[in-house]
Amino acid sequence: MIRDLLTPEAHQDGYVWAAVLLSHAFIGGVGVMFMGWWFLPVYIAFEVVQAVRARRALYWDSVLDIVAVVLGGLSVAIGSIWAALAVLSIALFGWYVRRGNG
């Protein structure tokens, strides 16, 4: 499962897409909780390196991962439900579109 999270991929299944997005939000929240705010730029740098080294150009995968991690981290850092709701709404929208409804 960790290997799947570290592999840039255009997930075709809506459930997988939403699960990966929520997993990245959780990673952001836990990272900020245990390592502080500086976890976010470190993760962004990791994601950029991963996108450059990938054999396929899936930049949107990296952008969505970064957005989810940052929103997850913000939801923990500022103690607000709004960032968490933003992640959930993105996940629900992506799940809906990936199911072929969009």
- Per-residue pLDDT of the chain in tens (102 residues, 90 and over written 9): 566 556 666 566 677 777 788 888 889 999 999 999 899 999 999 888 887 877 666 777 788 888 889 988 988 888 878 877 887 888 788 777 777 665
Residue 9: the pLDDT is: 62
Q: Long-range CB contacts (< 8 A, 24+ apart) of 95-98?
A: 95/14, 95/15, 95/17, 95/18, 96/14, 97/14, 98/11, 98/12, 98/13, 98/14, 98/17, 98/18
Neighbours of 18 (CB within 10 A): 21
Residue 11: the pLDDT is: 61
Residue 35: the pLDDT is: 92
